[in-house]
Amino acid sequence: MSKKTYSKTFFAGFIKENPVLALALGLCPTLAVTTSLYNAIGMGIAATFVLVCSNAVISLFRKIIPEKIRIPIFIVVIATFVTIVDLSMSAFLPELHAQLGIFVPLIVVNCVILGRAEAFASKNGIIISIIDGLGMGIGFTLALSLIGIIRELFGNGTLFSGTPMMIEVFSKPAMAMIFAPGAFITMGFIMAFIASREKKEG
């Protein structure tokens, strides 16, 4: 395959086929863990790792996986890598692990990962599958970070809280943005913004 296909696959997940903002997949972690930018990036990296590894393994085995039981096999492969992430995160980043809570094991049922396994890795070679996983994972992380920035900025008045680089922007934040309603409304406005841009272009 030419270099052009590789870069096209890699950048597709960024904006045009962004798993969260364009396809509305993987909504649960997107809305639940984006209370701060740090959590959002942590979740994004964890999901990217699982996505790349599971894409690689599934693409390697794609010719011997029987058609009828492919979904359970995909789920077991994904669950294995999620367990790796879960255990290493609780060992090396216990605070982040506590913050993300139930949503670390729930990466298993993240439809972005299963969706890429089904739609891409089970049909393509290993290198392009890894590139696809990386691109989609970065797109997922970017979307989470965007929502995380907006919610943390308005809801807590800070950026990067939980890390040594914390910046306090203003001191009287709107608490609702940190809670559930803020997540839904932020997501709605971002999607509306994207829809309005698309309308102008085409």
7: nearest Cα among 122, 117, 135, 161? 135
Query: CB-wise, 85 or 131, nearer to another protein?
Result: 85
Point out which residues pair with 168 in neighbouring strands. 158
The 77-96 site mask, x for binding another protein (CB under 8 A), equals --xx-xx--xx---------
**168: enclosing H helix or E strand:** strand 167-168
Tell me how far apart the alpha carbons of residues 103 and 93 are, in angstroms, rounded to a whole number: 15
Per rule CB under 8 A, count of chain residues that contact another protein:
42
The 10 Å CB-count burial string (b at 16+, else e) for 50-88 is bbbbbbbbbbeebeeeeeeebeebbbebbbebbeebbee
Q: Report the Cα–Cα distance between both ends of the chain, in Å, rounded.
A: 31
Query: CB-wise, 58 or 183, nearer to another protein?
Result: 183
Question: Which range of residues in 36-44, 104-112, 133-141, 147-155 is near another protein by CB under 8 A?
Answer: 104-112
Shortest distance, CB of residue 57 to another protein, whole angstroms? 14
Shortest distance, CB of residue 103 to another protein, whole angstroms? 8
Residue carrying the six token digits 């993300």:
100
The 105-144 site mask, x for binding another protein (CB under 8 A), equals xx-xxxx--x------------------------------
Q: Where on the chain is the footprint of another protein (CB under 8 A)?
A: 24-25, 27-29, 31-32, 71-72, 75-76, 79-80, 82-83, 86-87, 102, 105-106, 108-111, 114, 176, 179-185, 187-189, 191-193, 195-196, 199
